[in-house]
Amino acid sequence: MPSEFVCRIEIDLAIPDFMDASVPLEQIAEKVKTEAQENIRMQRSPDGTPFFPLAKKTISRKGFSMALFAKGIMFNALHVYQIGKNQFEVGVIPRGKPRRDLVAIIQQEQGVQSKYGVIRRPFLGFSQKTLKWANARIERWLTERTQKAAKKFINLKY
């Protein structure tokens, strides 16, 4: 008398969709842009240190003492770009004379030589507060994705 052995496997699992993170990533990029604009307005770097003050000669030529804010062109040239799926960057639109994207490179990275040394006025970057917010935002998104995961039931018989 032949015996019949049957193995039945049931799997109940949830498969989250982690493929499209464009919403939280764009929100993070917008937050970085807004913070960069605030840094220009408040005359500080992302780490909270104040900008090196303008020279008296520059202040008398401009009529005011705010760096990177002569006509608001740099402030308004900050922009969030989507460069691909799940890829965003914050940059400066090449507008104005001199082009603000080039001015941003000089102020942010290269610096300007003066009698006090090389002066940089970095305004674009992550502060600790924004970094914590971005991490919390991604964690919240992961939790939402996990909770909304599609349920899959797999039945196998051998």
Per-residue pLDDT 10s for the chain (158 aa) are: 566 777 888 887 778 888 899 999 999 999 999 999 999 999 999 999 999 998 888 888 888 889 988 788 899 999 999 999 999 999 999 988 889 999 999 999 999 888 889 999 999 999 999 999 999 999 999 999 988 887 777 777 77
User: pTM of the full predicted structure?
Assistant: 0.81
* Spatial CA neighbour of 33 closest among 74, 87, 62: 74
**Residue 98: is the preceding peptide bond cis (ω within 30°)?**
yes
pLDDT of residue 101: 93
Is 35 part of a structural domain of the chain? Answer: yes
Domain that holds residue 148: 8-157
Number of domains in the chain: 1
Q: What pLDDT, on the 0 to 100 scale, is given for residue 28? A: 97
What's the DSSP call for residue 80?
E
In a domain, residue 2? The reply is: no
Look at residues 63, 36, 71 and name the one whose alpha carbon lies nearest to residue 51.
36
Specify if 43 maps to a domain.
yes
Please check whether residue 91 lies inside any domain of the structure: yes
Residue 1 lies in a domain: no
Is residue 23 within a helix (H) or strand (E), and if so which, with residue range?
helix 22-42
Instruction: Output DSSP code: residue 64.
Output: S
- Domain annotation covers residue 3: no
Query: Can you give the C-alpha Rg of the chain in angstroms?
Result: 26
Predicted local confidence at residue 44, as pLDDT: 95
